[in-house]
Amino acid sequence: MANALRLGIAGLGTVGGGVLDVLQKNGATLALRAGIPVEVTAVSARNPSKKRTQDISKLAWFDDPVALAMSDGIDVLVELMGGEGDPARSAVEAALKSGKPVVTANKALLAHHGVALAKLAESKGVALAFEAAVAGGIPIVKTMREALAGNRTGKVFGILNGTCNYILTKMGDEQRSFSSVLAEAQELGYAEADPTFDVGGFDTAHKLALLTSLAFGTEVSLDDIDIEGIESITLEDIGNASDMGYMIKLLGVAVAHEEGIEQRVNPTLVPKGSPVADTSGVFNAVVVKGDFVGDLFLEGRGAGAHPTASAVVSDIVDVARGNLRPVFGIPAKDLRAYRRAPAKAHVGGYYIALELHDRPGEVAAIARILADEKISIASIVQRAPRSEQPRTTAPFILITHDTLELSMRAALQRIERDGHAASKPRMIRIERL
């Protein structure tokens, strides 16, 4: 290690190739910033014969990433395989047990096993760095762990999935359906063939779980996140929101309350003109509310080969400099057990879209149901039909005052059960930013 920092890269997909590009193009500058040359000496991937744009012919090849992690020919394991289980987990554990630092972009691994891996890394006195695991090229992990060390964080939220943001942006800008834009996103490589992990909100939840631990000093708790994706968002919802001065975004939100922590992923109406509303396309954005710094807003590319590789390389430089910090900002043994906050009144109210049967008394019946659940209506709008054809239903949009989500869901269940709605009601939170 006296002559160079030797990297072993496990995983040569999009991000792995991006890391090789960065090291090749900016190697000389990187050596000055790191204080030592940084070079890749060994790699591991599924297919050794796959055609790649980078030349890896002079690098040691390992079929087994665990063997790579334990090799004496590397000083640092860069894990870019992904997945919560093996081989990524075994490779990371092997490297840490061997006393090697690990740099990873694996949000799933850390969301499921981050605390145990952090304890292992800290017991061995080596780094487990994961800047690239959350929000791609945005330096949110270092910001929360280091730059905001003097603050108590009350809330962290943001757009953490570029695929969902791209779909919602295109639906609004081009008046196209969810299915149409999703198909385009798949053609462009923004969405997988099975897009459930992205559009279902699960990718956002993995990232939010890590931000929550950094923000509040609690153990990572993925299972305590309420998750709702964007599959049910319609063009009508986006148009209605726009008419009322809002845009719809998929947000990951974590809030500290006296009784515990609230974590949720859900589509949200955000005011037009706010920084989060203006974050479009595949970009991500994160807002951190600190008690001394106030609101901090970071925006950038949340995915892609080079933005994510940039974050990986920043962690490699930290390792080269000997910057060793607790994985989640405080020692893993001191992370508090996660305590879930009880249901609270949501500050901001709700947007409710109803397709009511067009007959006398339906609106009055809805008002009674909401009153029974102690829900106050801020406004109600009946939408004009989109065609001149005779209709047996009428679209209504409700905006509520602040209320419990449990009450809101109970009211919607009654509306549906009692046959007032011709289709399933749609509910979206309104967030005060």
What is the set of active-site residues?
Answer: 207
Q: Which residue has the tokens 């012919």?
A: 57
Distances in whole angstroms, Cα of residue 78 to Cα of each of 121, 174, 218, 298: 14, 40, 26, 25
Query: What's the rounded Cα separation, in Å, for the pair 132 and 22?
Result: 14
**Total number of residues shown for the chain:** 433
d(CA 34, CA 318): 7
8 near 44, Cβ under 8 Å? yes
* Bridge partners, 403 (sequence order): 346
**Count of CB atoms situated within 10 Å of the CB of 343:** 12
| Cα–Cα distance, 155 to 136 (Å, whole number) | 21
CB 148 within 8 Å of CB 290 = yes
Number of Cβ within a 10 Å radius of residue 406: 12
Q: Does residue 382 contact residue 396 with C-beta atoms inside 8 Å? A: yes
d(CA 37, CA 246): 50
Q: What are the φ/ψ torsions at residue 263 (nearest 5 degrees)?
A: -130, 135
Please give the structure tokens belonging to residue 340: 């879930």
Q: How far apart are CA 257 and CA 237, in angstroms?
A: 31
Cβ contacts of 194 within 8 Å, gap of 6 or more = none
Dihedral over alpha carbons 282, 85, 18, 249 (to 10 degrees): 10
Q: List helix spans (H) across 175-233.
A: 178-187, 196-199, 202-216
Residue entry with tokens 């939408």: 383
Distance between CA atoms of 406 and 118, rounded to whole angstroms? Answer: 36
Tokens of 37: 């040359």
Amino acid identity, residue 206?
H
Contact (Cβ atoms closer than 8 angstroms) between residue 7 and residue 39: yes
